[in-house]
Amino acid sequence: MYHGVIPIYKEAGMTSHDVVFKARKILGMKKIGHTGTLDPDVTGVLPLVLGQATKLTEYMQERDKAYTAEVTLGVSTVTEDASGEVIEQAEVPELDTAEIDKAIQSFTGEYHQQVPLYSSVKVNGKKLYEYARAGIEVERPVKTVFIKDIERTDDIVRKDGTLTFNIEVLCTKGTYIRTLAVDIGKKLGVPAHMSHLVRNASCGFTISQAVTLSELSEMNPEEVIQPVENIITEENTIHISDEDLFFKIRNGQKIYKNDMIKYVDGSSVTSGYIVFKHEGKVIALYMEHPKKPDELKPFKMFTSDIDI
């Protein structure tokens, strides 16, 4: 069994589940997952987690994602992308380039985004797309995401009453780029949708590091598998040398933040995940207790008999 992460380049026409299914056959193992769904029409980086690395999925998902998206103004669809039925169409008026760029840049920073109708987000225990397919109206939640960087990267093209242009986006997890495209259109007073999307980076991996499934099937997987040690950053990492602390962590005991001061700067254990290493190996991920902010609780434990 392999343990680590493989950055796969997902090609168009496959679901993320398809990629996992085919990777299981190629690698001859079942314990494989992915770190963030890509729609079938979307291409780009899809990191696969193998073996013990499946425990790192949520940790990795905290990292930023980067996209190149084509935005089309003048047409909106029910799914907010090119695959959906057209629900509104209007000729785009003469828009000044500076006006378009100002609208794009206005989304930099904190952004309150309504979850798209065709998504797997659950409302009252049911996925939104299930409501949509049944023709049932439901109030969609609004999420707060963060756009770290956004810019137009090519010329604006007018064709048949529509305008298209590409944008590059660096954002936090949970950001719907198709909804961002729609909202750019709303800012400009015209219908819009995302007509193409490529994910350039995800969970710390870039598109240049990714391999296709075909390439994976023809190579030694160990050439591309990134071990867990390469995934864990040094930020919020504690290298254990104290035997008492090692005993507590190895046995999944809760830890008080005040007790951590002698091991690490207290400011670094106030949020996010804490990674504990012993003799160079990851042994546990801890996180802040959701109800007891002065405590850290085990989040994921790694078995000691597997070299990860």
The DSSP result for 262-279, as a single string, is TTS-GGGGSSSEEEEEET
Convert 282-294 to b/e letters by CB count within 10 Å (16 or more is b).
bbbbbbbeeeeee
The DSSP result for 50-62, as a single string, is EGGGGGGHHHHHT
Tokens of 297: 């609780």
The three-state (H, E, C) secondary structure of 135-152, written as one string:
CCCCCCCEEEEEEEEEEE
Residues pairing with 146 in the sheet = 110
Pinpoint the alpha helices (H) of the chain: 16-27, 57-61, 97-105, 128-134, 177-188, 213-217, 228-231, 243-250
The DSSP symbol for 91 reads P
Positions marked catalytic = 39
CA distances from 91 to 71, 72, 188 (A): 15, 12, 13
CA–CA–CA angle 187, 191, 196 (5° rounding): 100
CA distances from 80 to 34, 99, 137, 194 (A): 24, 22, 17, 6
Q: Which helix (H) or strand (E) holds 14?
A: none
CA distance 32 to 41: 22
Residue 293 phi, psi (nearest 5):
-60, -10
